[in-house]
Amino acid sequence: MDNYIPKLPKKVLVENGAIDSVKAFCSDFGKEFLVVADEITKNLGAEKIASELNSPIIVIKDSTMGEVKRVEEIKSDCIISFGGGKVIDVGKLAAHNKKIPFISFPTSCSHDGIASMNASIWENGEYRSFPATGPSGIIADIEIISKSPYRIIASGSADLISNYCSVFDWKLASLKNGEKYSEPIALLALSAAELVSNSQEEIKKMSESGIRNLIWGLIFSGFSMTLHGSSRPASGAEHMFSHALDKLGKFGLHGEQVGIGSIFFSYLQGQDWMKIKTVLENLGAPIKLSQIGVSQDIFIEAVLKAKDVRKRYTVLDEKRLDRKSIIEISKSVSII
């Protein structure tokens, strides 16, 4: 970690019609490109990008290590992922393994993986986070992203709102456990949450400025993780809870799960949980377990298992929770 050198993108383009500038944008990253897409995004713009760059397309079915290897086998000196989180993560890890540039071209905004250095890959029955290299370039077309289902927009917004909890846990770990902490990086992660909080009405309207601010918020959050060298600035107890929940079944989107988790854990942290809950509700993100199909018993089990998901000091190390206390807090914040 002491020798870690963060790598931020050389280029970032966020605008309406950005896809029309893809050839000029990519000119600095190589000559032989490979476009990664899925069945949906292939027709959404991947074919147009491939035509502009005179490059092949590989269509993946899921985010497994097998698909990563399949992408790696195709000759290229730069990989462009055009799609959602799964497409981006497969391309990102393949480019990292090949040691070539990677361009992130998101078609949706469900979480901050569009700009992070980690890749979430399905392996042995669960999603695992693999270290990768952050994108060399990020290009986002506001018009394309605005066409994605609003549920995905709300999920991405909730993922950023959860940074309030993540940064609190990071600072707590610094004070109580001697963990390295950076105020400037923490402020960058918090600025992503503030950008969404201050733009909640515009995001709900799906206005150009609202979607633009959401995209930049996700980029800022990804940058905070890249600058620190780990997911710590944007991943605390609420993310550990979400990962524990993933192991118990398929429930909500990632952002929906961490959003509800942030209501619970911000109460535990002594933060203004009502502010977080109100913003999530205004954005149309789930604020009750029933909205994502999580029963009280599953929630309790996920909270109790969250502490063991990874070795990371959080508010879970400060508070002793049992079934009774979890139910009491859940009722206090009205998530059940």
* Ranges of each domain in the chain: 11-145, 150-332
Strands 11-15 and 33-37, how do they pair?
unpaired
Q: How far apart are CA 26 and CA 36, in angstroms?
A: 15
Q: What is the pLDDT of residue 201?
A: 96
Please determine, for residue 221, whether its predicted confidence score (pLDDT) is greater than 90: yes
The second-level CATH assignment, the architecture, of 11-145 is: 3-Layer(aba) Sandwich (3.40)
Strands 78-83 and 33-37, how do they pair?
parallel
Superfamily, domain 150-332: Dehydroquinate synthase-like - alpha domain (1.20.1090.10)
Q: What is the pLDDT of residue 4?
A: 76
Q: Name the band, by pLDDT with cuts 50, 70 and 90, for residue 2.
A: low
Minimum mean pLDDT range among 120-124, 151-155, 309-313: 120-124
Q: What is the pLDDT of residue 5?
A: 80
Give the predicted TM-score (pTM) of the model. Answer: 0.94
Q: What tokens appear for 250 in the block? A: 């398929």
Q: What is the pLDDT of residue 1?
A: 56
Please determine, for residue 157, whether its predicted confidence score (pLDDT) is greater than 80: yes
Q: Which residue has the higher pLDDT, 112 or 16?
A: 16
Q: What share of the chain in percent tops pLDDT 70?
A: 99
